[in-house]
Structure 1
């Protein structure tokens, strides 16, 4: 098997990110604090308790909402905005390698949330669709799975399939090649609301005019959820992970320009 530097760097970034974002990040802080208790008891206690508090903050709806608010500040796309677009671009979000009920690999729920909304916009506008996602794991590029779902399950044709990307920056750069070759300069970009700031910045850096079409907000609350703002739960834990992942990604991209 040939050596692929881009794939190695991709997995290095994944490992570093996993050590920062919850649940592993706060646990490592706690573990470091416990390891220092004998030699540096004050520092050890501070780290252990700090890690515990950090973990609680990242699974509590009220505090997670504060992290998400600056990320999810893009409103839904309007029909007037959509009418200005020349194509719809859907950014991949991952897949499930073990999906025996589908006979192999399939898309994860994040990717399906994006595709569902892209299908709605495509039917509403009649715009051509580009799907973007490579194959850092498994053998099937994510974009192939995205195309199959859109065409077979949602009945929406896909014009361009970008299969080489490994991250958001790649999504933008490689998609721009397909689109600009077809004379497309203005796109409706479909991704999660929390991912939109980072995704939009990358697609604009690749030379495209972006009309944001965010979906799947993780923050916000309904009137009947007020009592649960300070009760940690599985949904808020997931939202906390996503929020930290996006903030870390934005920071990493800022220093890697």
Structure 2
């Protein structure tokens, strides 16, 4: 019963389901007066519905996330963690700022690799917007609070996009004579990031993390219920595919 109630309000009350429903109702009403316009709106409604369901978002992002596999026995001399968003003034333990979900998952994986390999971590990411925090500085504070020594953390705080992540991180690699970097970033972002490092003649070992969906697809009813999370995944996927295409040029 609880699941059925959840199904009803998720599908017909919460966005984006409510918008899908209203569009379909309005398109059928239009049929009475303007058939062609009603047909066009119905097609648009169906297209919008497809963009909101998990099967679409998961399928799109899975294409990116399955590009690289997690190494069974990773080895290297430094970890590169790419930033993925942060807040500016939210209170933390002794400092301000938190990492976004993407960046926080990358940080957790970097800590796991540090515990396993005992090698330095380069945290790459600057202040992207006036309203956001400096990602690498926040990452450093969190790493230190988790027991990673300060001398094992290298801060790169100038970059504001993936291309600059690579540019400024490469300078750190060269100045410290690191030869076997392990690249940690979200699985959906790994292909674009790896391409940028390759273009800069930097050989990295990809270590994807922050998976947004399962590796294997197992369909269920929930995969056809409109969800705002599915739209986020689809948007992320489109952004990455455009970035990958742009990287070729």
- TM-score tier, shorter chain, comes to 0.7 to 0.9
TM-fit CA distance, 1:209 = 0.8
Q: Distance in 2 between matches of 1:225 and 1:154?
A: 41
Give the aligned partner of residue 237 of structure 1: 231
Task: Please tell me whether residue 87 in structure 1 is matched to residue 81 in structure 2.
Answer: no
Residues 45/226 of structure 1: CA separation in 2 closer, same or farther (3 Å cut): closer
Give the deviation of 1:96 after TM superposition.
1.4
The equivalent of 2:123 in structure 1 is 131
Aligned-pair distance for 1:51?
Answer: 4.6
Structure 1 alignment gaps of length 5 or more: 1-22, 24-29, 31-40
Q: 1:181 Cα shift?
A: 1.4
Question: Which residues of structure 2 form unaligned runs of 5+?
Answer: 1-15, 17-22, 24-34
Counterpart for residue 63 of structure 1? 56
TM-score (norm 2): 0.75
Of the three residues 23, 33, 45, the one matched with 1:52 is: 45
TM-score between both structures, scaled by the size of structure 1:
0.73
Q: 2:210 corresponds to which residue?
A: 216
Shift of 1:100: 4.3
The 3 A distance-change label for structure 1 pair 180 and 231 is same
8 Å contact kept, 2:88–2:133: no
Separation of aligned partners in 2, 1:51 and 1:147? 47
Specify the SS of the correspondent of 1:217: coil
- RMSD value, Cα: 3.1
Distance change in 2, residues 1:172/1:51 (3 Å): farther
Aligned position for 2:142: 149
Please say which structure displays the higher CA radius of gyration. Answer: 2
